[in-house]
Amino acid sequence: MCKDELKEVLSPTIIQERIQALGRQITLDYAGRSLVLVGVLKGAFIFLADLCRAIDLPIQVDFVRMASYGSKQESSGRISFTKDIELDIKGKDVLVVEDIIDTGHTIKYLKEVLTLHQPASVRICCLIDKHERREVAIQADYVGFEVKHGFLVGYGLDFAEDYRCLPGVFHLNPGHRPKAFQPSDR
């Protein structure tokens, strides 16, 4: 990894402060209830780990894994499940925890599938909302940060499986980015 390929966008401190605020808000909104957090693997694993400890409610955790970008790192709008939920969410309040909402295809599909299990509610919490690239009508209920441009890595986010364990979020500079994010930062 050469240093000039990464530019910090969200510092570890900023991320942690925002997550504490999200946790307080979620705790208030679901007061007196319990929650099932459904993390979207792999990108949300670090965010979920921090978020679940910022929420002061009884919590159960499950994960799904979806393939939307495949190996080409481009959003095709074609989604497949490679790991389904394992908990019974019927009648439960479900909060989906996602790293980034980009075109929105992944989260829209996931919400539709989870709804088939007849939960009491399904809401969405994402660390980063790239709403300018949205292709389908879907809005997160809780948003950590809005970021307009570029391809992001770190804090769980990867490019070709690299960079996930960086403590902050970084722009991956042009030249190092996947094709869909070159050259104009759509």
Beta bridge partners of 81: 66
Minimal CB distance to Mg ion: which residue?
43
With binding defined as CB under 6 A, does residue 152 bind ligand IMP? yes
> Of 10-18, 22-30, 68-76, 116-124, which segment contacts ligand IMP by CB under 6 A?
68-76
Report 33-52 residues binding ligand IMP (CB under 6 A): 40, 43
With binding defined as CB under 6 A, does residue 129 bind ligand IMP? no
C-alpha torsion angle, residues 77, 129, 125, 70 (rounded to 10): 30
Report 80-99 residues binding Mg ion (CB under 5 A): 99
Alpha carbons 106 and 166: distance in angstroms, whole number: 24
Alpha carbons 3 and 58: distance in angstroms, whole number: 42
Phi, psi of 21 (to 5 degrees): -65, -45
Q: How many Cβ atoms are within 10 Å of 123's Cβ, its own excluded?
A: 17
Residue 185 is a catalytic residue: no
Check 56, 93, 99, 102 and give the catalytic one. Answer: 102
- Of 157, 166, 170, 176, the residue at the interface with ligand IMP (CB under 6 A) is 157
Report 8-67 residues binding Mg ion (CB under 5 A): 40, 43
Alpha carbons 174 and 2: distance in angstroms, whole number: 13
Q: Is 98 left (phi over 0), alpha (psi -120 to 50) or beta?
A: beta
Alpha carbons 178 and 69: distance in angstroms, whole number: 10
42 vs 117, beta carbon nearer Mg ion = 42
Tokens matching residue 101: 């909402």
Q: Which does 157 bind (CB under 5 to 8 A by kind): ligand IMP, Mg ion, none?
A: ligand IMP
Q: Which does 75 bind (CB under 5 to 8 A by kind): ligand IMP, Mg ion, none?
A: ligand IMP
- Of 38, 102, 142, 144, the residue at the interface with ligand IMP (CB under 6 A) is 102
With binding defined as CB under 6 A, does residue 105 bind ligand IMP? yes
- Of 104, 119, 144, 154, the residue at the interface with ligand IMP (CB under 6 A) is 104
